[in-house]
Amino acid sequence: MTEMRYREALGRALREELLRDENVFLMGEDIGVFDGAFKVTEGLLEEFGDKRVKDTPISENSIVGMGVGSAMLGLRPVVELMTINFSLLAMDQIVNHAAHIRYMFGGQISVPLVIRMPQGAGNQLGPTHSHCFEALYMHVPGLLVAVPSTPADAMGLLKSAIRDDNPVIFIEHETLYAEKGEVPDEEHLVPFGKAAIRREGTDLTIVGISRMARTAEKAAVVLEEEHGVSAEVIDPRTLRPLDLDTILESVKKTNRLVVVEEGWPHGGVGANIAALVQEHGFDDLDGPVLRVTGVDVPMPYSKSLEQIAFPHVEQVVDGALRALGRTVSQ
């Protein structure tokens, strides 16, 4: 095992896949000469040349469209968009084309395309750079959606995404790029549709999405040390496919569920998971599924306002205690 940062793990995955398969190539804004906005692609242009690491114009619709076309012709493009907010400019290519071409052609043509995008608040970049849109893409049949929260999962899921014949929305969190973690030295693949149980517990289940999986782990420590509560923490890792079985098995054991996400509350990932658990695990619940979400507002520029617009440990602890019928003072 080697300790490395989240961005380094992503870069290693890209390098290994470029070496493994000559059909893999990268393209995006400033990924070559500038080494990427978040330095994930550092050194790859120098090593692989501009035929396989391509800087593109600032046109998300065009970038993704080129990715769709090249994937249809047998290549395996990895497209980087500078932020998930900018992907809204490419929604036609992502939803109407990448997601649906395999279906419309009766399976005769696949679109092995990966779209890498950072998201999330915390850097004072305002409402056009800081939102979490995994729920938008989770809604679309034909897309796979990954939300890795650790360096090991970032590397393993990205390698699996590049090898998959389906289009993959690969969502990274901006504040995780500098986070360190252990990554296997050998070939490392993480399968889609297999959640990770980050912490065992017996009193309630907490499901955390993307960065919120790590926030949930920290909250579980506080719950145990300060409130005597044993929380089981689950990181889904992928939202399409979703490992509902692992969540249901945990709820069967703990009888309570809290879902934590940074995105907006209406039509969010938590709403989807709550509905699924209510449909398939209602008899195991001793109370309603609670959600801890971002605030239902555009992301503020102001640092103080931004900090209260997305969940922290305190909000997760409060949500867990409410699920147990308790308050912070108890």
Q: Which residues 6+ apart lie within 8 Å of 11 measured at CB?
A: 39, 40, 41, 42, 43, 44
- Residue by residue, DSSP assigns 214-234 as HHHHHHHHHHHHHH---EEEE
Whether residue 200 lies in the annotated active site: no
Q: Torsions phi, psi of 53, nearest 5?
A: -130, 100
User: Pick the catalytic residue: 8, 29, 60, 249?
Assistant: 60
Q: Which two tokens stand for residue 285?
A: 């619940």
232 is catalytic: no
Q: What is the DSSP letter of 93?
A: I
In degrees and rounded to multiples of 5, residue 2 shows phi and psi of -125, 135
The CA-based angle 244-142-159, given to 5 degrees, is 75
- Catalytic residue, chosen from 97, 129, 131, 173, is 129
Helix intervals (H) in 4-150: 6-20, 44-48, 60-72, 91, 101-104, 134-138
Q: Are 113 and 156 in contact (CB under 8 A)?
A: no
> First and final CA of the chain: distance in angstroms?
41
Which residues participate in catalysis according to the annotation? 60, 129
